[in-house]
Amino acid sequence: MSLSSRAPYVNELLSDGIHHGTATYERGDIFLKPEKAFHLTGNINYQSGPFQLDWVLYTHFIRDFIYQQPVPDSPVLTIAGAFPLIKYSQTNALLMGSDLAFVWKFSPQLEWQSKVSILFARNQKTNDWLILMPSHRLSNELVYNFKEGKRLSESYISLEWQDVMRQTQVPSDKNGKQDYKAPPPSYHLLHLNASTTVQLGKQKITFSITGRNILNTVYREYLNSMRYFTDEMGRNIGLRIRVPIGKAKS
């Protein structure tokens, strides 16, 4: 249980122009008040043999919660084109949710990691859902850790399946249109990661390869304002080589 307060950021007070990172026109409010919040959090940690669980339950009541409110009836026309208008607004908000994570080691090499995030966010002034809040999501990952070798160490390969639900908890249009576009459909992504560390003389070099969205799924993320215009990134393959700089230990 705790109390906190947060003063508005400068951009929340004074923004009045194009945000090139989000392709929106942001407009602040100089009269925004500091947020005041009451937090209630419970945490359960459990471990038994190969099974480990961490479960967090939380409730946040935030007076004068600062959030971004799309204004779909008033896009801003500039010399660079038309941009969605986003205003910084305030309300009294109630956020309730849960984060669950567990690890189950089937063997010294193979383990299953799972994470679940659930959030319910209410606008207390309108008695409706709060806009632009994360949707429920789930991820499951299988990790295989290879046995240590003479030249290869810290080697593993993992396969992750990510599920993100469609955000259905959005404010109704009874008080006017609330967003430029309806929330996008749910999506499911598959990721692949592998890494190993090679001993070359006295030097250790780590090679990693990452494959994000390896099925090249077409999707849009509700919290990304680019969803108004385009899809998220497709298949992305990355190769990384890490070479420690410094005197090697003998």
Instruction: Determine, yes or no, domain membership for 96.
Output: yes
| pLDDT mean over 231-250 | 86
Choose between 249 and 214: higher pLDDT: 214
**pLDDT given for residue 151 in this prediction:** 86
Q: Are 211 and 235 in contact (CB under 8 A)?
A: yes
Q: Report the alpha-carbon distance of residue 221 to residue 164 in Å, rounded.
A: 9
Q: Does residue 250 register a pLDDT over 60?
A: no
Instruction: Determine, yes or no, domain membership for 249.
Output: no
Instruction: Determine, yes or no, domain membership for 163.
Output: yes
Instruction: Determine, yes or no, domain membership for 250.
Output: no
Which CATH number fits the domain that encloses residue 226? 2.40.170.20
Instruction: Determine, yes or no, domain membership for 247.
Output: no
**pLDDT given for residue 175 in this prediction:** 79
| pLDDT mean over 82-111 | 97
**pLDDT given for residue 76 in this prediction:** 95
Total structural domains within the chain: 1
Which of 65, 12, 1 lies closest to 35, judged by CA? 65
Domain that holds residue 100: 2-242
Instruction: Determine, yes or no, domain membership for 35.
Output: yes
CA-based end-to-end distance of the chain: 50
pLDDT tens string 46-82: 999 999 999 999 999 999 999 999 999 999 999 999 9
